Amino acid sequence: MSQAVLVSVAGQGGFTGSVSVTLTGLTSGVTASPTSLSVTPGSSATFTFSASGTAEIAQQAVSVNGTSGTLTENTSLQLTVSGTPVPDPFHAIGGALVHGFYDEARQLLFATNPGLNELDVISGADFSVKARVPVPQPWGIIRWRTARRL
């Protein structure tokens, strides 16, 4: 996801020079493009912020720094990265998975779990346990040629 932010400069006391505007404080997974802007009083330019799928969902302060020669000015803006948290795909199901077979067509992992005497059916999309089939001492798994049986 990305969001544009318009940056403008107001000259004071007759200032008409060009101002280099940079950003600091972006967290991992958040980028700004371009990395710096050159803005003159009365004009504006745009930073485009982008957040990757690994960016932390949070609000953060980003420092906006303006420099022209020996003159500097700093301010900050609040940047909010929002979204749905990614579920933790690795959660304990009990026992220990020993052998498995992944069915690409159904996107399901069939895994033996001898500690719980069952065959676990796990979603390949979100790693959730879809079913637990009681099987005494399931040490191995075989896929039959018909592709309809395990």
* Interatomic CA distance for residues 108 and 102, integer angstroms: 6
Q: Where is the domain boundary, 54, 81, 108?
A: 81
Name the nearest CA neighbour of 98 among 128, 143, 137, 61.
137
User: Do 71 and 7 belong together in one domain?
Assistant: yes
* Interatomic CA distance for residues 81 and 53, integer angstroms: 10
Q: Where is the domain boundary, 33, 51, 81?
A: 81
pTM summary value:
0.56
Q: Where is the domain boundary, 46, 81, 116?
A: 81
User: Do 40 and 67 belong together in one domain?
Assistant: yes
pLDDT score, position 44: 95
Q: Looking at the 3D structure of the chain, how many domains does it have?
A: 2
Range of the domain at 77: 2-81
Average pLDDT for consecutive 10-residue bins of the chain (150 residues)? Answer: 91 92 94 96 95 87 95 93 70 72 89 88 89 88 66
pLDDT score, position 123: 92
Within 10 angstroms of residue 77's Cβ, the number of other Cβ atoms is 15
User: Do 8 and 70 belong together in one domain?
Assistant: yes
Q: With 0-12 CB in 10 A as exposed, 13-18 as middle and 19+ as buried, what is 65?
A: middle
User: Do 62 and 102 belong together in one domain?
Assistant: no
Name the nearest CA neighbour of 129 among 83, 84, 100, 53.
100
pLDDT score, position 66: 95
Which amino acid type is present at position 105? A
User: Do 95 and 69 belong together in one domain?
Assistant: no
The set of residues, in sequence order, having a beta carbon less than 8 Å from that of 20 and lying 6+ positions away, is 36, 37, 38, 66, 67, 68
pLDDT score, position 56: 86
